């Protein structure tokens, strides 16, 4: 079934109200560098902006609209925001044009209108608004409200990225890495991803780490590539990114860019699997199956392989399931099913499987008598 314009727009464009530069809030780097938390708007702020907006001040109209659409706005708040943004946009207020374009793109408080959204993005982008430049790039990259044009999308991403827009920097890095709108250029990809990663963007840190892990065309020694991959993937993992936590587990398991450490590998895989990462769940199952960093236990391995299959919609775990079921006893298969039945979530399932493996292998336990 084809998606509606609203569904497409909301899948491409994040809801308004966050950091306009695309900076994640509350990261570990924020805390280390002493960045203050954004102050919550008060009722007196809303009243002050309302009074100023009523006088025709476009900046106040924009600030009022931004407050109205922040958090989880009601429909009436979205419509009120769109009203003020139209007034400010009529006076060519670039930030208002960018935000109103976002509402049209998402169908938030207005009927979805991709063409009007792109028109507003372009007007604000030409005026130098970084958020509009980024959103125009997204629209052009995906053929949303306009003809698809990856080369022009890259140009707008670069302009926004040069102003410090983190998501734009991430997209420039991706374009150079994948050759979208340009020839593949790993060196340029590294430079742009590093800009965003150095400011605390976890996805950029992960992708930078993966790029160093590939090491293709970077003119860097293999051992230095491995060290850089470990450093950046570690940063992303520390921010809670499940894919990064899984990748870090793999690095610890083979000792790439670090000393091999099965216990640390298992620790990071647990964090990712608890968040629903199918590959990490399968990794822990493999550890249980082969006795890597944890006592061998086929029941737990089988339970986790089945859960990995569920999490991935059957894309992962099929081969492991067949191999384990071929050697598991009827009792072990029944115990695996019981583990799945007893556990409410992923974290509890992992904890139960590991506790079972460690418990049955303790001296004096029933299964070791």
Query: Could you tell me which residues come within 8 angstroms of residue 133 by beta carbon, excluding any fewer than 6 positions away?
Result: 125, 156, 157, 159, 160, 163, 165, 168
344-357 tens-digit pLDDT = 999 999 999 999 99
Q: Phi, psi at residue 272, to the nearest 5°?
A: -70, -45
The model's pTM: 0.88
> Cα–Cα distance between 229 and 43 in angstroms, integer?
47
Domains and CATH numbers, the chain: 5-15+81-254 (1.25.40.10), 262-368 (no CATH)
- Percent pLDDT > 70 in the chain is 91
Please say whether the beta carbons of 288 and 353 come within 8 A. Answer: yes
Q: Looking up tokens 């216990």, which residue turns up? A: 263
Concatenating the DSSP letter of every residue in 117-164 gives: HHHHHHHHHHTT-HHHHHHHHHHHHHTSSS---HHHHHHHHHHHHHTT
Q: What is the pLDDT of residue 36?
A: 45
Model confidence at 170, pLDDT cuts 50, 70, 90, reads very high
Residues 39 and 65 sit within 8 Å (Cβ to Cβ): no
Q: Is the pLDDT reported for residue 30 higher than 60?
A: no
Which DSSP string corresponds to 280-332? HHHHHHHHHHHTSSS---HHHHHHHHHHHHHHTTTSSSHHHHHHHHHH--HHH
Instruction: Go through the chain and tell me how many residues it has.
Output: 369
Nearest to 225 by CA among 190, 269, 201, 179: 190
User: Is the Cβ–Cβ distance between 30 and 200 less than 8 Å?
Assistant: yes
Q: What value does the mean pLDDT of the chain take?
A: 92
């Amino acid at each position: 079934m084809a998606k509606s314009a609203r569904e497409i727009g909301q899948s491409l464009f994040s809801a308004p109200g966050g950091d306009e530069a695309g900076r994640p809030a509350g990261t570990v780097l924020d805390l280390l560098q002493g960045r203050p938390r954004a102050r919550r708007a008060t009722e007196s702020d809303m009243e002050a902006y309302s009074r100023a907006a009523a006088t025709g001040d476009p900046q106040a109209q924009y600030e009022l609209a931004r407050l109205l659409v922040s958090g989880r706005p009601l429909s009436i708040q979205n419509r009120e925001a769109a009203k003020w943004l139209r007034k400010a946009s009529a006076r060519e207020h670039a930030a208002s044009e960018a935000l109103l374009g976002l509402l049209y793109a998402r169908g938030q408080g207005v009927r979805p209108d991709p063409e009007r959204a792109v028109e507003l993005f372009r007007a604000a982008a030409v005026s130098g608004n970084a958020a509009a430049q980024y959103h125009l790039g997204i629209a052009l990259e995906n053929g949303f409200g306009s003809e698809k044009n990856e080369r022009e999308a890259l140009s707008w991403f670069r302009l926004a990225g040069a102003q410090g827009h983190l998501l734009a920097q991430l997209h420039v890095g991706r374009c150079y890495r994948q050759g979208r709108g340009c020839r593949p250029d790993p060196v340029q990809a590294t430079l742009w991803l590093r800009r965003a990663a150095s400011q605390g963007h976890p996805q950029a840190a992960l992708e930078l780490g993966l790029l160093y892990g590939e090491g293709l065309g970077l003119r860097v020694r293999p051992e230095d590539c491995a060290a850089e991959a470990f450093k950046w993937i570690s940063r992303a993992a520390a921010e809670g990114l499940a894919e990064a936590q899984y990748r870090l587990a793999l690095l610890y398991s083979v000792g790439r860019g670090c000393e091999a450490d099965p216990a640390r590998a298992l620790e990071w895989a647990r964090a990712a699997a608890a968040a629903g990462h199918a590959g990490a769940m399968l990794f822990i199952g493999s550890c249980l199956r082969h006795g890597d960093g944890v006592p061998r236990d086929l029941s737990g391995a089988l339970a986790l392989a089945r859960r990995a299959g569920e999490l991935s919609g059957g894309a992962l775990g099929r081969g492991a399931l067949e191999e384990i079921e071929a050697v598991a006893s009827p009792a072990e298969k029944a115990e695996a099913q019981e583990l799945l039945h007893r556990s409410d979530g992923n974290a509890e399932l992992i904890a139960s499987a590991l506790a079972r493996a460690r418990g049955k292998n303790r001296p004096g336990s029933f299964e070791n008598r």
